[in-house]
Amino acid sequence: MVGLLVALQVGTLSAQSPANAVYDRVILGGHVMDPASRLDAVRNIGLLGGRIAVITTEAIRGRDTVDARGLVVAPGFIDLHAHGQTSETYRFYSLDGVTTALELELGTSDVATWYRERSAGERINYGVSIGHIKVRMAVMHDSGTWMPVSDGAYRAASPAQIGEIAKRMEIGVIEGAVSIGAGFPYTPAATRDELLAVFRVAAKMKTPVHVHIRPSVAGLTEALSLAGETGAPLHVVHINSAGLADTPVMLEMISEARAHGRDVTTEAYPYDAGMTEIQSATIQDTYKAAPDERLAELEWPRTGERLNQESFARYTRTGGPVVVHTNTEQMVAVAIHSPLTIIASDAYWQSGTGHPRTTGTFARVLGRYVREAHWLSLMDAIGKMTVMPAQRLEARVPAMRQKGRLRVGADADITIFDASKVVDRSTYLEPWLPPVGIQHVIVNGVSVVANGHAVEGVAPGKAVRAPQ
Ligand SMILES: [Zn+2]
């Protein structure tokens, strides 16, 4: 009903001359860049009731004004892969221009509770998947708190347990999960039968599976075959870190699958090192018996030291995030440049520390890959952060048709930045440093970042959730 009223108001306002109207807020004189319509020109934008009411060359008035002269006005960035879902991490994301942050890989085992816990509103829009990793941890009674460390990772499920896992996945989908999440390297004991059961739920419920695949070409082949056999839509997370030196050939495989009409998409983050929990199966299986030269790929972020057999064993006992140096800048650039990839951060933040991608992903692409290296155009980069992730989710979550675009009637999620200055500042040693150049971030019409600083005490962010 409220939505209808707003739509009527917007309709009435746009029917009359914008010059006579008084909008809630106006964004004046910005260089508007909208990848969906390819609009690339100076315009004024009027907001009303949390939506975009007008985009015009005419002078307009509002009860509040954002001066955007000299700045780029873009749709708010949508992050499909953001692990921290707390007020602390929502604040980080907003400073990087993100207006919607979704946890679609690990997800949750209890979708209804997850949304209820955030129903008072958050700084930015939020959403979650029903996660195979999390559901498996619950069904197998894993002792880990965040990722599986015992039976959730290493014990094969009985047919009855596989049935229980599939049932809980389906309940999560019915409760409005945005997608289904999975991470095969974190659940190495999950058999093909178990994974097929998960993909069958996805196919039946027409819900994309966001998968952290096993490494390289073999991992992608496995995911494509599970999707092909069941008909499930597939989204391959962080092709850069899954692919490493195989990234170009894997992008080619995805391109070919799409050319054959398959619903397959992918994403990348702009860093040549990854990060994950040292106690997780993906780290333990690879490095537990490795020699010191191989262990030197791992960095303990709190100290910056490279690990050896002694320190690896010691830090494994305490647990915590570890930096994994296995990729090259060249492969990351290939992944970011490809027209197939959505930009997604894989934001990772645990007890006061994490990966710099948590705070810098989007500004880093705009500053280093667009402005400095010219790997892609500004319009294409914005498209990878806005309309592309929105389109990935639209079939499942129709409300995403109102995000990722600057057009009349769209949600007023807007990111305004200085294209000549924007760049990340966070590092492995200081991952909390916010970027520079992201000047204003507006969520559902309300500023959460103003003049480059977080606005305190605001919670305009709403749930992104599939119809139940
Ligand atoms: Zn992840």
Q: What is the pLDDT of residues 197-212, one digit of tens each?
A: 999 999 999 999 999 9
pLDDT score for 18: 76
Ligand 1 centroid to 223 CA: how many Å? 16
- Centre of ligand 1 to C-alpha 387, Å, is 21
pLDDT bracket for residue 351 (50, 70, 90): confident
The answer on pLDDT for 14 being more than 60 is no
Which one, of 324, 251, 280, 277, lies nearest residue 185 by Cα?
280
Residue 3's pLDDT is what? 47
- Whether 8 has a pLDDT exceeding 60, the answer reads no
Q: Which residues, in sequence order, are CB contacts of 286 under 8 Å at separation 6+? A: none
- The secondary structure of residue 213, as a DSSP letter, is P
Please report which confidence band the pLDDT of residue 35 belongs to, taking 50, 70 and 90 as the band edges. Answer: very high
Rounded percentage of the chain residues whose pLDDT exceeds 90: 92
- Over residues 98-116, the pLDDT tens digits come to 999 999 999 999 999 999 9
Q: How far apart are the CA of 445 and the centre of ligand 1, in A?
A: 30
CA of 346 to the centre of ligand 1 (A): 5
| pLDDT reading at 10 higher than 70 | no
Distance 81 CA to ligand 1 centre (A): 6
Distance 237 CA to ligand 1 centre (A): 7
**Ligand 1 centroid from CA 106, angstroms:** 7
Task: Give SS3 for 172.
Answer: helix
The mean pLDDT value for 252-267 works out to 98
Residue 245: count of CB within 10 angstroms of its CB: 12
Count CA atoms within 13 Å of residue 367 on its CB side. 19
CA of 105 to the centre of ligand 1 (A): 6
Going by pLDDT thresholds of 50, 70 and 90, the confidence category of residue 16 is low
Smallest CA-to-CA distance from 301 within 352, 360, 344, 364 is with 352
Residue 146 has pLDDT above 90, yes or no: no
Residue 456 CB partners (closer than 8 Å, separation 6+):
none
| Per-residue confidence (pLDDT) for residue 20, from 0 to 100 | 85
Q: Which amino acid is at 433?
A: L
List helix spans (H) across 16-158. 87-95, 111-116, 132-139, 151-154
Using 50, 70 and 90 to split pLDDT, how confident is the model at 9? low
Q: Which amino acid is at 175?
A: E
Flag whether pLDDT at 13 surpasses 60: no
> 242 CA distance to ligand 1 centroid (A)?
11
Least confident window among 321-325, 367-371, 407-411: 321-325
Q: What is the pLDDT of residue 395?
A: 97
Quick one: pLDDT band at residue 2, thresholds 50, 70, 90?
very low
Q: Angle between the 216-230 and 192-204 helix axes, to the nearest 10 degrees?
A: 50
The maximal CA–CA distance of the chain, rounded, in angstroms, is: 73
CA of 83 to the centre of ligand 1 (A): 6
Q: What gap in Å lies between CA 465 and CA 397, rounded to an integer? A: 6
Characterize 160-193 residue by residue with b for buried, 16 or more Cβ atoms within 10 angstroms of its Cβ, and e for exposed. Answer: ebbebbbebbbbbbebbbbbbbbbbbbbebbeee
Q: What is the per-residue pLDDT for 390?
A: 98
Residue 5 has pLDDT above 90, yes or no: no
Whether residue 406 has pLDDT greater than 70: yes
Confidence (pLDDT) at 4: 47
pLDDT digits (tens, 9 = 90+) for 429-438: 899 999 999 9
Torsion angles phi and psi, residue 161, rounded to 5? -70, -35
Smallest Cα–Cα separation from 467: which of 207, 108, 203?
207
CA distance 398 to 67: 32
CA of 213 to the centre of ligand 1 (A): 11
Distance of alpha carbon 99 from alpha carbon 464, whole angstroms: 11
Mind listing the pLDDT tens digit for each residue in 45-79?
999 999 999 999 999 999 999 999 999 999 999 99
How far is ligand 1, taken at its centre, from the CA of residue 250, in Å? 19
pLDDT at 39: 98
Residue type, 318: T
Phi and psi for 53 in degrees, rounded to 5?
Answer: -100, -25
Give whole-number Cα distances, 319 to 191, 290, 370, in Å: 27, 18, 37
Measure 183 CA to ligand 1 centroid, in angstroms. Answer: 8
| 276 CA to centre of ligand 1 in angstroms | 8
Mean pLDDT over each residue of the chain, to the nearest integer: 95
**Residues with beta carbon < 5 A to ion ligand 1?**
105, 346
Range list of H helices, 338-466: 357-364, 378-385, 387-394
The answer to whether 263 and 209 are in contact (CB under 8 A) is: no
DSSP-assigned beta bridge partners for residue 43: 30
List 48's β-bridge partners, or say none.
Answer: 51
